[in-house]
Amino acid sequence: MAVGRLFLLCIALLFPCTSLTNKVHAESFSLFFEEQTAQKTDNLSVLPSWKRILEFKNIAEDRDDFSIQMWRKLISSLANEPAENRIYKTNMWLNSFPYKQDNWIYGKSDHWATPTEFLTHGGDCEDFAIIKYITLRELGFTPEQLKVSIVYDVYSGTDHAFLLVKHNDKDFVLDNRNHEISAHHYYERYKPYYVFNEKEVITFERPMIATTIRDETNDTILPGNR
């Protein structure tokens, strides 16, 4: 995953000073944002790759690609399931797609895949998060319940992305590394750079931690940049 620290700086510079919000607003969505000072904007032009995906997110019904047709069938099959089942099964099904770095597919360091691109080729961690966002939107979840989250992994010292879902005052994490959707083990491990949905982008002042923290009870470190 190529989050790009210079890119993050550019986002910060683009935000107007009046977009500063207090930490209560950030914490009200998730415990991930506890004690974090945030800036919020509804100007999605700070994320041109995200705007591109939103403009092209609709997938033609008559496409012959097998993966796209199966994605449509998944949505139909989950439409009447309880919300937590929709969350869990969406994560499980989409995690079956291959992880591929952007330079393997597109020949460049960073590319955010449209649904069609992901379902055809697979993708990296932010591509998994984005297709899960779009899938859950198709399944009736609101933008306010969903945040694509670009984060810092304090265990491995690398950047990562996943989808954060809020339902009935509970956090769920849809992560391409893990089929488990409980957020319990994520609060200490990940610190947010920025999170977004189709209505807003929120950036945080304290994601870039100087020290890499490792869990002394578990020496297993997941591969970074996945």
pLDDT one-digit tens code per residue, 178-195: 999 988 888 888 888 899
pLDDT of amino acid 204: 83
What is d(CA 191, CA 150) in angstroms, rounded to the nearest whole number?
9
The yes-or-no verdict on residue 65 having pLDDT over 50 is yes
The yes-or-no verdict on residue 54 having pLDDT over 70 is yes
Give the chain's domains with CATH numbers.
5-204 (3.10.620.30)
What are 148's strand-pairing partners?
163, 196
Q: Would you state the structure tokens that stand for residue 3, as one six-digit string?
A: 């989050």
The model's pLDDT over 123-144, given as tens digits with 9 standing for 90+, comes to: 999 999 999 999 999 999 999 9
pLDDT range class, residue 215, cuts 50, 70, 90: very low
Percentage of the chain beyond pLDDT 90 is: 51
pLDDT of amino acid 40: 86
The yes-or-no verdict on residue 205 having pLDDT over 50 is yes
What does the pLDDT average to over 31-56?
82
Q: Would you state the structure tokens that stand for residue 121, as one six-digit string?
A: 């080729």
pLDDT of amino acid 184: 82
Q: What's the mean per-residue pLDDT of the chain? A: 80
What are 171's strand-pairing partners?
166
What are 155's strand-pairing partners?
none
The yes-or-no verdict on residue 19 having pLDDT over 90 is no
The yes-or-no verdict on residue 67 having pLDDT over 50 is yes
* pTM recorded for the entire structure: 0.82
Per the model's pLDDT, the better-predicted residue between 197 and 59 turns out to be 197
pLDDT range class, residue 37, cuts 50, 70, 90: confident
DSSP for 168-215, please give it.
TTEEEEEBTTBS--B-GGGTTTEEEEEEE-SS-EEEES----SS----
What does the pLDDT average to over 148-174?
93
pLDDT of amino acid 21: 45
In sequence order, what are the residues at sequence separation of 6 or more whose Cβ sits closer than 8 angstroms to the Cβ of residue 208?
5, 152, 193
Nearest to 56 by CA among 5, 131, 128: 131
Cβ-based burial of 222 (10 A; exposed 0-12, middle 13-18, buried ≥19): middle
What is d(CA 34, CA 27) in angstroms, rounded to the nearest whole number?
5
Per the model's pLDDT, the better-predicted residue between 62 and 30 turns out to be 30
Q: Which helix (H) or strand (E) holds 219?
A: none
Cβ-based burial of 121 (10 A; exposed 0-12, middle 13-18, buried ≥19): middle
What does the pLDDT average to over 10-16?
48
pLDDT range class, residue 150, cuts 50, 70, 90: very high
